[in-house]
């Protein structure tokens, strides 16, 4: 069941405006694309939005409201997510530079890249709170089926997100491939990815429920 066409059109416009603005998910995708290539970037997009689907379902079932009302639940999820991001960043920074005669290490398995994206977004309570605050603004309670409307809007948001985030992954991956043989760039991309992950983790840890 869909809300009326006016609300649906406003929702699509608002979603696109939010999605094209780089945020933590986009930074994560860019870092993965630069570090491991376009395929890894696209797989991280799928992992992130599978995590998004859990939050959408939670919003429809009212779990996000429970998360927002429980300081303990919020803190547990927040710090688990922050610790995971910081661990990813430290692992990247400590991987070290490789010499000119050192063969390139194998790229991260796509399943691990997918898992990282899924876990990072799943353990981001701000995502749950975002959907709790954002989706209901475009729900029309008159015809009923509010939970179905939330699920439908969430699915539309995910499709738009996959398209926009996928564009970021392709662009970042193409740029990385062009500079893949440059040792200075290799050092930069390792430091950029590691710092970005740690920065996102610290941001998540310091974020309040507001």
Interatomic CA distance for residues 37 and 17, integer angstroms: 26
Give the mean pLDDT of the chain: 77
pLDDT band at 53 (very low <50, low <70, confident <90, very high): very high
Question: Would you say residue 65 has pLDDT above 80?
Answer: no
**CB-CB contact of 131 with 14 (8 Å):** no
Please give the share of the chain, as a percent, with pLDDT higher than 90.
13
Nearest alpha-carbon partner for 26 in 168, 178, 121: 168
**Range with the lowest mean pLDDT among 111-120, 158-167, 180-189?**
180-189
3-state helix, strand, coil in the chain (%, to 5): 80, 0, 20
Q: pLDDT tens digit string along 39-52?
A: 889 999 999 999 99
Q: Is the pTM of this model over 0.85?
A: no
- Is 32:44 a contact under the CB 8 Å cutoff? yes
């Amino acid at each position: 069941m869909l809300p009326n066409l006016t609300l649906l059109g406003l929702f699509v416009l608002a979603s696109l405006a939010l999605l094209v603005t780089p945020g933590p998910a986009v930074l994560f995708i860019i870092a993965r694309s630069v570090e491991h290539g376009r395929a890894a970037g696209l797989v991280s997009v799928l992992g992130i939005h599978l995590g998004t689907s859990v939050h959408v379902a939670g919003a429809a079932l009212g779990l996000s409201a429970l998360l927002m009302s429980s300081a303990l639940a919020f803190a547990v999820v927040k710090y688990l997510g922050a610790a995971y991001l910081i661990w990813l960043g430290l692992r990247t920074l400590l991987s070290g530079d490789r010499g000119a005669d050192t063969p390139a290490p194998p790229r991260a398995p796509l399943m691990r890249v997918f898992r990282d994206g899924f876990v990072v977004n799943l353990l981001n309570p701000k995502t749950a709170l975002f959907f709790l605050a954002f989706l209901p603004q475009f729900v029309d309670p008159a015809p009923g089926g509010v939970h179905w409307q939330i699920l439908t809007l969430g699915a539309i948001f995910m499709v738009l997100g996959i398209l926009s985030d996928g564009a970021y992954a392709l662009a970042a991956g193409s740029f990385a491939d062009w500079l893949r043989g440059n040792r200075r760039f290799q050092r930069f991309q390792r430091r950029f990815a590691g710092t970005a992950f740690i920065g996102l983790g610290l941001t998540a840890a310091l974020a309040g429920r507001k």
